[in-house]
Amino acid sequence: MPATPPSLFPPIQPIRHGMLAVDELHTIYWEEVGNPNGIPVLFLHGGPGAGLSPQHRRFFDPNAYRVILFDQRGAGKSTPLGEWRNNTTQLLIDDIERLRAMFGIQQWLVFGGSWGSTLALAYGQAHPERCLGFVLRGIFLCTKAEVDWFLNGVQWFYPELYEEFVAPIPVAERGDLLTAYTSRLLCDDPEVYWPAARAWSRFEGRRVFLLPQPEEASSDALDLGVGRLESHYMLHGAFLEEDQLLRDIGRISHLPAVIVQGRYDVICPPLSAWRLHQAWAGAKLRMVPDGGHGALETGIARALVGATEQFKRHGRFD
């Protein structure tokens, strides 16, 4: 992980946190940060399955914002970890609405990066009347082309990582890596799913940042959540119709939005951000010239904090 960007606000603890049972299987972790009387904002983490980090609280002025964060189904502190059953985009949207009602919030700013941008768009299009605007990073629309890039196209930039990723898969199955990995990740045998989860998470994690970062010990929670849920959602096209998020952009195009995109993002390449910007004429596009995919890269973090500061002052993005 890179050094903490200087643009972030100081570390902060939640003013309250808890667990919410959303069905007979899933219980989600939530936390509230900042000013209880501030501008409500919903934070949506990436993955799916990546979960929250204390750093995620720091994109917002705690004196001005009331920040609601939660671990999505199967991620982070939510239970059961890595559970893909009863786990769809539509159910996550229902969870968000349940949280909004629990906190008594009428409308909120929606902030999400990577998969969080996918979920933010899907939520906004389902409930536009509940949204004040959007701060989106590293756009992922979960189209077939993006999924193919994530799994196969990236070998043009990281051939050594790709070779390592495909090595455990028999040659006869390598024509469909998504199915090959999903069948292993979602099986019940830990001797099968743990190696697959760690390989998947490593394949993604080592290309998040533009510049190489020191290797850190991986987390079992991160590996299992990311491996299982990313493969599950990709296999099902995020439970959306192909290009649905662009097709239905008119439902939210009247709302203010900013798109922050790393120029050299090899997980969610800039074409998706460009396509979204072209479809959403009122959205502001901030292309970070020295950015990859990571929200904590200096230029990307600066742009995200700049966006929340603009919205705090003006309720829009200039």
Dihedral (CA of 256, 292, 288, 222) sign: positive
One-letter amino acid of 121: L
Domains recognised in the chain with CATH numbers: 16-142+239-314 (3.40.50.1820), 144-238 (no CATH)
Q: What is the pLDDT of residue 302?
A: 97
- Is 114 designated active site? yes
Dihedral (CA of 221, 226, 231, 233) sign: positive
What the block records as the tokens of 310 is 């603009």
One-letter amino acid of 32: E
Whose CA is closest to 74, among 93, 44, 49?
A: 49
Q: For the sheet with 27-34, list strands across it.
A: 16-21, 27-34, 65-70, 39-44, 108-113, 131-137, 257-262, 284-288
Q: What is the pLDDT of residue 318?
A: 85
Choose the catalytic residue: 95, 265, 272, 277: 265
Q: What is the pLDDT of residue 218?
A: 65
Q: What is the pTM of this model?
A: 0.96
Q: What is the pLDDT of residue 44?
A: 98
What the block records as the tokens of 295 is 């929200």
- As averages over each run of 10 residues, the pLDDT of the chain (318 residues) reads 80 98 98 98 97 97 98 97 97 98 98 98 98 98 98 96 96 97 96 95 93 71 94 98 98 98 98 98 96 96 97 91
- Is 265 designated active site? yes
Q: What is the pLDDT of residue 5?
A: 80
Choose the catalytic residue: 45, 232, 277, 293: 293
Q: What is the pLDDT of residue 221?
A: 83
Choose the catalytic residue: 78, 114, 117, 231: 114
- Is 293 designated active site? yes
